[in-house]
Structure 1
Amino acid sequence: MQTIFVQIKCELGKAYDVADSAVETLEEVSEVHSISGQYDLMMKCYLGDEADIGHFVTQRLQTLPGVKDTFTIITFKAFT
């Protein structure tokens, strides 16, 4: 399982719509948080080991209505 975090910059007034759409339509999206700073949302996503991260981000996340820009963080190890 691969874990990635994707920060999303939304069109003005669309952050809640993007968050709702991601949670409702993408099973890989585990959590969506509204955040401060240059981006509006942070999504935590779980992808299968063989999944192509680039394709997921460009074809599934960036094409959500209202998404303006993304910044992807690939994780290595989770500490509990």
Structure 2
Amino acid sequence: MRCVFVQFRCTPGKTYEVASAIWDREVVSEMYSTSGEYDLLAKVYIPEEEDVGHFLSSHLFDIAGIVRTLTTMTFKAF
């Protein structure tokens, strides 16, 4: 499994709805509300055989209320 972190910027006033929709899809292992440029931060484990972009697009990025995302790939843990 590959670990990626995804930040979500939401339509103003829709953060809780977006968070609930993300959590309901059961593809994130952790999710946090954040301050700053983005509203939510999610930790996602993606199966090795899956394409990261396709997986995220088909499982998360179609949720209404998401304005922008930022995906951070991770590499070997120290």
> How does the TM-score come out when normalised to structure 2?
0.91
1-structure distance, mates of 2:20, 2:77: 26
Residue in structure 2 matched with residue 53 of structure 1 by the alignment: 52
SS, match of residue 3 in structure 1: strand
Larger deviation: 4-13 or 55-64? 55-64
Larger deviation: 34-43 or 52-61? 52-61
Residue in structure 2 matched with residue 68 of structure 1 by the alignment: 67
- 1:5-20 alignment runs, 5 A limit: 5-20=5-20
Spell out structure 1 runs of 4+ moving beyond 6 A: none
2-structure distance, mates of 1:19, 1:36: 14
Question: Which deviations, in whole Å up to 9, do the C-alpha atoms of 1:9-68 show, x marking residues without a partner?
Answer: 00111111111111111x321111010111100010011111111012222221011111
Q: Amino acid of the residue matched to residue 11 of structure 2?
A: E
1-structure distance, mates of 2:77, 2:33: 22
2-structure distance, mates of 1:20, 1:77: 30
Gaps of 5+ in 2: none
Residue in structure 1 matched with residue 22 of structure 2 by the alignment: 22
Residue in structure 2 matched with residue 77 of structure 1 by the alignment: 76
Please report how far the alpha carbon of residue 77 of structure 1 lies from its aligned counterpart in structure 2 after TM superposition: 2.0
> How does the TM-score come out when normalised to structure 1?
0.89
Gaps of 5+ in 1: none
Alignment length (residue pairs): 78
